[in-house]
Amino acid sequence: MLDIQHLKKTFGKNEVLKDISASVEKGQVICIIGPSGSGKSTFLRCLNVLEHPTAGKIIFDGTDLASLKDGKELDQLREKMGMVFQNFNLFPNMNVIENVKLAPMKVKGMSEAKAEKIGLELLEKVGLADRAKQFPTSLSGGQQQRVAIARALAMDPEVMLFDEPTSALDPEMVGEVLKTMKDLASSGMTMVIVTHEMGFAREVADQVWFMADGYLQEKGTPEEVFEHPTSERAKDFLAKVL
Ligand code: ATP
Ligand code: MG
């Protein structure tokens, strides 16, 4: 469903992504690992064109997103990609259910009653149905992140992109968010996840991609990448994090 061809992204003279080709099949869970500053976030942001690629193609449902200028067509394709960030980014002045139902109503023109119904079902799914009327600041980090996941799901996306969804959390909150993501993976959602949680990657990913120096240096099953890395860069990285 996503086909990335010779993706390149530079900021001024800084060549962050040099030449990346990869594809994501429907229902696959991809975990992207790699050292800090290697371009993982930039890569994810290129996938939904929050950053415009410098060169290359991102074919999503048959359309090259990289060739589109900001505008209606790009927005409509972006709506099919849910994104969850490290810092939740919930709207602080809205309660939980308002956060979840806003985009379906505003962007899709869904009726408030329907958005509310879907929103409550999604909150149920992430274990927060009883928190619908609370404001984000009254929730723990783990709960806020689960609301952010429900909010992204409310747009009924074809693929979910996660950028280090647990790195801003206190250790005791990490498990509940990973559990929510694991349930989502089991339900068949296509997911691309930048993460430092190697245990999660090993257990849940269909494919692990190791990024360093502007390239995907390794792509394979968790077993292949964690047990039999081929590049020195990956061996070195894994020796430090495993
Ligand atoms: P981390 O693990 O710390 O989150 P990362 O792998 O996500 O790192 P990126 O945030 O993608 O790495 O950054 C890769 C490089 O791109 C860095 O050198 C960063 O300074 C640069 N960069 C990222 N975004 C921009 C931007 N908007 N303008 C200029 N440079 C940028
Ligand atoms: Mg990052």
Residue 34 CA neighbour count, 13 Å, CB half = 26
**What is the H or E stretch that residue 214 is in?**
none
Q: How confident is the model at residue 29 (pLDDT cuts 50, 70, 90)?
A: very high
Dist CA 151 CA 2 (whole Å)? 22
Distances in whole angstroms, Cα of residue 32 to Cα of each of 84, 100, 149, 194: 15, 27, 19, 5
Using DSSP, state whether 25 is helix, strand or coil. coil
Query: Given a cut of 90, is residue 181 above it in pLDDT?
Result: yes
Residue nearest to atom 9 of ligand 1 (CA): 39
Hey, which of 7, 14, 51 would you mutate to test ligand 1's pocket, going by the most ligand atoms within 8 Å of its Cβ? 14
Segment 44-96, tens digit of pLDDT: 999 999 999 999 999 999 999 999 999 999 999 999 999 999 999 999 999 99
Task: Tell me the mean pLDDT in the region 222-232.
Answer: 97
Dist CA 108 CA 159 (whole Å)? 17
* pLDDT above 70: percentage of residues in the chain: 100
Distance 163 CA to ligand 2 centre (A): 7
Mean pLDDT of the residues in the chain: 97
Would you say 55 and 8 are in contact if contact means Cβ atoms under 8 Å apart?
Answer: yes
Give ligand 1 pocket residues (Cβ under 6 A). 11, 14, 16, 36-42
Query: Given a cut of 90, is residue 206 above it in pLDDT?
Result: yes
Residue nearest to atom 20 of ligand 1 (CA): 37
Query: Running DSSP on this structure, what letter comes out for residue 139?
Result: S
Would you say 185 and 204 are in contact if contact means Cβ atoms under 8 Å apart?
Answer: yes
ipTM value > 0.90: yes
Query: Given a cut of 90, is residue 242 above it in pLDDT?
Result: no
Least distant ligand from the CA of 162? 2
Would you say 231 and 35 are in contact if contact means Cβ atoms under 8 Å apart?
Answer: no
Ligand 1, closest atom to CA 194?
Answer: 7
**What is the H or E stretch that residue 14 is in?**
strand 14-24
Using DSSP, state whether 81 is helix, strand or coil. strand
CA dihedral sign, ordered 129, 122, 119, 94 = positive
Tokens representing 213? Answer: 């120096």
Residue nearest to atom 1 of ligand 1 (CA): 36
Q: Tokens 């060739």 map to which residue? A: 67
Least distant ligand from the CA of 33? 1
Residue nearest to atom 28 of ligand 1 (CA): 11
Query: Running DSSP on this structure, what letter comes out for residue 239?
Result: H
pTM of the model: 0.97
Dist CA 105 CA 198 (whole Å)? 37
Hey, which of 18, 40, 45, 209 would you mutate to test ligand 1's pocket, going by the most ligand atoms within 8 Å of its Cβ? 40
Least distant ligand from the CA of 16? 1
